[in-house]
Amino acid sequence: MKKRLLINLGLSLLCIIGVGLGLSTTITAKTTGDVPAVAKATGYRLVNQDAQVWTKPYIAGLDNVKSENTKQIQGYMIRLTEQVKINGTKYYLGVFPGSGKSAGWIKATDLKTPQYFWTKATGGKYINVKKTKNLNVEVSLKKQRVYLKSGHKVVYTMMASTGKKTSKTPKGHYTLHSGGKWFWSAAYGGAKYWREFAAGGYYFHTIDTVSPNGKYSVVNGNKLGQAVSHGCVRLSIADAKWFYKNMPNGVKVYVH
């Protein structure tokens, strides 16, 4: 009994000292408001247009803050990283597929599974290029990403697939040119929504198609994010279509 009393007094003093010194303390208690240990999660999900996005799994009665990324991710796709079940309700932590930046915690009921992840936007809500100063494009062969930048600042990130070892995407500084809605080559196949950036037929375009202006290759679509192209820069269908329609001619492109 004396030992238990001393322990309780010690904990009380520790809390008082922590408050006096301005230290933050975490107290864990076995109540219905506790957050259980999180588990890993994988896959892609589409976020409902009116979904609530939180900085942590929402628990009624406990402080919580809505994610600053709420408007950027509502109606767009996330990649799952963690999951937790609280009082019978499952929550997922999602990140922007392109950048890997945390989007926030969302209830499972506010998510749905896309048939093919490579058909969707991979960076959340698109930017307004007309309001983006010093717009330029950077392609990372190492990370398999396309960065839209305002000067040196990254403002949007897309997943990509660049050239494989036997047909590498050329490194260097280039300029973005016009393109077309689709192309087809007997030797290399085709794709849709293309924009040329380097002489010799190097484009930004969608996942490749299996026939002229035809259906997309599911096999190659599932490889988005890997270096598997013939040298062009593949993007998701949504990203390529947006890129084709919105990116101005003359924008500088840096591939490294």
- Cα 253 to Cα 81: distance, rounded to the nearest angstrom: 31
* 205 labelled catalytic: yes
Identity of the residue numbered 193: Y
Starting from the edge strand earliest in sequence, which strands make up the sheet with 135-140, in order? 153-159, 145-150, 135-140, 252-255, 172-175
CA quadruple 19, 22, 27, 31: dihedral, nearest 10: 80
* 256 labelled catalytic: no
Cβ atoms of 83 and 117 within 8 Å: the answer is: no
Interacting residues of 66 by C-beta distance below 8 A, sequence separation 6+:
52, 53, 54, 55, 104
Q: Which of 15, 152, 205, 256 is catalytic?
A: 205
Tokens found for residue 113: 């599974």
Q: Which of 173, 177, 232, 256 is catalytic?
A: 232
Active-site residue set: 205, 232
